[in-house]
Structures are given as C-alpha cells and as structure tokens.
Structure 1
Amino acid sequence: MKNLSFLNIIFFLLAGIAHAEALPNEPHIVVSGTHEISAVPDILRMSLDINEVGRDVAEARASVEERSELLLQALKSLGVKKKDITSARLQITPHYNWSNKAQIYTGTEVSRVIEVILRDLAQYDEMVRAIIDARVARINNTSLESTENKELRALALQGAVADAREKAVLLVKNFPEQVGGVYSISASPSPGGFRPARYQVAEFAKRESFEPGVIQISETVQVVFYLMK
C-alpha cells in the first residue's frame, strides 16, 4: 500500500496538467502518448490580398476588380478548378487621420481576399508569376497539406494510443501493480502542414525555388488507466 501511494504521486506529477474530467477513486495512472508521421504534401493553400488605396473610390474599386479578374483568369488557365477558388466580396474601408481633434480623410482602401488551392505543385512557379502580374499586395498565409490527411491522422492517433500504453506499462514495471482498463481517453490533435506565413509579394518573389519537402502530422492523447494488483 505504501508503494501504491508513492506510485500515484509520481503518476500525478508526470501527468503535467490536471485532467479535465473527474479521476476515478480507484488506483490509476495518467499518461500522455504522442505519435508523429512524416508525409510528402501534394496540395498548397494560399490566401491572397488584392487592395488599392485612393481618394477616388470608384477608381480604387475598378483597379481591384481588374486585377482580381486577371488573377482568376490566370488561375483558370492553369487548370485550377472553380471549387478550389474562393473570391470574397470587396471590402471598402475609409481611412482618416486625426489633426487638432478633427478627422481628416486620407483615402479609402478597397480590398478583396482570394483563396486558392493548388493541387498540382509542379505549377507553383506559374502561379507565382500570375500573382505578380495581378499585383497582389500581400500573401496572407500559405500551407502545405496532404490529400491523405484523414488516413494519416488515423495512423498517428493509433500510434499515440500505443505510445500511451507503452509508457504506462514502463512506469509500473518495477511495482507490483499492472496496467488495467481505460477509464478515459482524450485526443489533442496538432495542426499539420507548414505554419501559416504572411509575405509581401515583392519579398515572396525573391524566395528560392519551391521545395515542398515534408510535413509532420502528429496526434497526442491523454489516457487514464486503472491499476490492478
């Protein structure tokens, strides 16, 4: 019994965080398991911002509309499907400066966000040229993903569960108790793909040639096991 009390203290410390659910009154162990899978990405998501600032709202709007259409036509010529292009409504935002407690109108910003999914990464360079030609102001974010993300996450989850079980068995190895059934289990998925990144297009155009590399898909679980004599 003395060993069991000491063992429970260790397990609570190893848990690192308080478990969200009520823990059982019976002897138990709280462990976390993690598993990571590397995958070659095959799709690219981009969020593009086309904008214009000026005192003449009609001119600013016409510029954004023209550049948006230029980009959309270029994407379609690359074979990007309509379902993989999302063009948001125009946003019109007046800008003011304060001077001597008075608002002074400085111009109006007209902008549109266009989101694109590129499913043929071999066309990356051509898409970048289309972005530059359309004078896209900013690339809000990019992310590389795998079309097999669902299957890969399932494998990562299975690996995380196995890792949690292995840790539990290892921790009780030198004690008389054995790992029993599961009281509760919860998963905390980690985002896959590259972290979102923002770029000014001029900066983006100077980047070295595109190499998709690999992405990491990981899953983490927290499990409460019963302890058995």
Structure 2
Amino acid sequence: MTKFLMSLFVSTFAVSTLTISANSMALNGETPSIEVRYIEVKGQASVLAEPDSFSLNIAIIERGRLTDKIRAVVDYKSNQVVQVAKSLGIKSHDINSARVMLTVVKDKPSIIVEGIEVRQRAGNGSLPNNQYNKVTIGADGVQRQNNIKPQYFELSRMISINFSSIEGYDKFLSKVIKLGVSRISPLAMSVENTEMHYQQALVQALTNAKNKASKIAIHSNVVLDKLLYVKELSSNYYRSRLSSTMMSAEITSNHTSQVGNQVINASVLVKFSIQE
C-alpha cells in the first residue's frame, strides 16, 4: 500500500501534464489539440579545475623629506624586483611596474602646549588680603613653532607579476622577500581556459538531467520519449581566488604552495515527452 501511494505521489507531482480541453476548443470552432505529457527536470554538474594562472602584487614604499631621494630608493628596489622576475624566465609583458603614487604625510604634533596661568604674590604687599597677580602665558607662539614642521612625502610603487605555474611563484617569493619590499598582497589564482571546463560541466549536466528524468519515469510507470525543451540556467561566470595575505617582507619561505582545485558549475532545465 505504501509503495502504491509513493508511486501515485511521484506520478502526480513529478510528471507535468499540459492538457487543452477538447470541449472548449470545439465550442470555439477550433480543432481539438492532442494532450501533451512531459517530465521537466533540472540537471546540475560540477567540474574540478586546477588553477594555471597566478598574479602577485608587490608594494615598495618609502618616506622622506626629499622626493628625489625617496624616488631613487624606490626605483632601485623596483629594478631589483624586476630583475629577479626576469631571471626566473618571466617575460616583460607579464610585469607591470608603472603604478606610482606620491602623497604628503601629515603627522599631528607630538606635543601640544595650551595656555598656562601663573599666580604671583606681589612682593611689596600692595595688594590687600594676600591677593595674587595672575599672569597668563599664551600658547600661540609655541603652537606656531609646532606648526612649522618639515614636510614629509610617501612614494609607493606597485609591481604586478604574472606566473604560469605555482613553482615559479614559490621561487620568486623566496628571493624577493630578501630585497626589503614593503608589502606582498595575496596571490590571485585563476583558471585560464574556463570555457573548456564549463562545456564539460554543461554536457554532464544534460546527462544528469536525463538520468533524473528516467528515474522519475520509472517510479511513475511511464516511458520517456523525445527531448522537447532545453534551457541553460547557468553561465560561464568564474571568480578568481585569493590566497592568504603576506604583509611583511621579513619572512622566510620554506613552504611549497598548494593551490588545490576550483569548482566550475553548470545547470540546465530540460523537458522530455512521455510515450503514449
């Protein structure tokens, strides 16, 4: 009895039936249409892809009073970073070192002096009842001296390096952290040919949809016929992934990086007719 009820439930809700009333069509003088029965299912699939494209951003930052001097330091360190990259076989079109930013550093005064009030007793006793003279020392002069400070500048250059393998990244990282760079951003990892992997997932999604429809048909005591309709629900949307951040250059790297796999998904909506 339970099996019969389950089969009846699946047949009622999983098998979608499109019926057009022959009587109403006849009243309108139209030819009655044939009842169309179909099964509609959604198929999904995922494909694992190993990242094969890597990008790293490195910041070189210097502060000083003279822009010429801090630029010379930044340029020297930048040239060292580029030389390390090229020594590992990285091509010039995979290196971008043109992003430079100069800002004025505004520090607050380390000591802020406010007005001081000094009470002084008159020496000749000219003031009655032991009254005091009040002398106020203003802070305007001190503040003016504090405001006259040497101006500092901060010059930063961002260098982007693209790698075709994680091994190249590990070799580059082990050398560049010794050069005194200021900041190393998270490594961005992506899959180069995402369309190929997405097409594989799409084909598998169609197969999964057909298998699902076949199972529903068996439980509903019907037989699948032709494919009536296919709609692609997903799109080849892919987001690159970031690894952990490295903020300081005072790091030694004895670790071999592991990138893991990234998932590319696909989904479809299909309809199969049912044999009469």
TM-score category by the smaller chain? Answer: 0.5 to 0.7
Please report how far the alpha carbon of residue 33 of structure 1 lies from its aligned counterpart in structure 2 after TM superposition.
0.6
Q: For 1:6-21, what aligned pairs fall within 5 Å after superposition? A: 6-7=13-14
1:129 to 167, 174, 197: 174
Q: Return the letter of the residue paired with 2:97.
A: S
Amino acid of the residue matched to residue 219 of structure 1?
N
When residues 163 and 57 of structure 1 are mapped into structure 2, their CA distance, relative to the original with a 3 A threshold, is farther
SS of 2:99's equivalent in the other structure is coil
CA 1:210–1:226 in structure 2 vs 1: closer, same or farther (change >3 Å)? Answer: same
1:68–1:134 Cα contact (<8 Å) kept: no
2:255 to 200, 204, 209: 209
CA distance in 1, matches of 2:272, 2:99: 58
Q: What SS class does the counterpart of residue 74 from structure 1 fall into?
A: helix
Asked whether the 8 Å contact 2:58–2:158 carries over to 1, the reply is yes
- Residue 233 of structure 2 aligns to a residue whose secondary structure is strand
The answer to whether residue 170 in structure 2 is matched with residue 163 in structure 1 is no
* 3-state DSSP of counterpart to 1:199: coil
Alignment of 1:138 with 2:183, yes or no, is: yes
- What is the DSSP-based 3-state SS (H/G/I as helix, E as strand, rest coil) of the residue aligned with 2:180? coil
Choose the corresponding residue for 2:266, options 190, 195, 220. Answer: 220
**By how many angstroms is 1:64 displaced?**
1.8
Equivalent of residue 245 in structure 2, options 195, 198, 208: 198
What's 1:22 paired with? none
| Residue pair 1:192, 1:215 contacting (<8 A) in 2 also | no
Tell me how far apart the structure 1 counterparts of residues 165 and 229 of structure 2 sit (CA, whole Å).
Answer: 44
Secondary structure class of the residue paired with 1:134: coil
Q: Normalised by the size of structure 2, how large is the TM-score?
A: 0.58
Matched, 1:47 2:61: no
Structure 2 residue aligned with 1:71: 81
Residue by residue over 1:21-77, the C-alpha shift from the partner in whole angstroms, topping out at 9 and shown as x without a partner, is xxxxx96635241222254x5553222222223443333322222111111112112
Note closer, same or farther for the CA distance 1:82–1:125 as it changes in structure 2 (3 Å cut).
Answer: same
User: Contact conserved, 1:192 with 1:218, CA < 8 A, in 2?
Assistant: no
Distance apart, 1:147 and its partner CA = 5.7
Q: Give the equivalent residue in structure 2 for 1:93.
A: 103
Q: Distance in 2 between matches of 1:161 and 1:64?
A: 55
2:15 and 2:98 mapped to 1: Cα distance? Answer: 55
Residue 138 (structure 1) shift:
1.9
Measure the CA separation in 2 of the matches of 1:107 and 1:163. Answer: 64
What corresponds to 2:143 in structure 1?
none
Structure 2 residue runs of 5 or longer lacking an equivalent are 1-8, 17-36, 113-146
- Paired position in structure 2 for 1:181: 228
Partner of 2:92: 82
- Is contact 1:194-1:215 (8 Å) kept? no
* Deviation, structure 1 residue 141: 2.4
Deviation at 1:88, TM superposition (A): 2.9
Percentage of identical aligned residues: 22
How many residues were matched structurally?
207
TM score, norm. by length of structure 1: 0.67
Task: For 1:134 and 1:209, locate their aligned partners in 2 and report how far apart those are by CA, in whole Å.
Answer: 19
Q: C-alpha root-mean-square deviation of aligned residues, in Å?
A: 3.9
Cα distance in 1 for partners of 2:252, 2:52 equals 23
2:58 and 2:159 in contact (8 A); partners too: yes
Q: Larger Cα Rg: Structure 1 or Structure 2?
A: 2
Any unmatched runs of 5+ in structure 1? Answer: 10-25
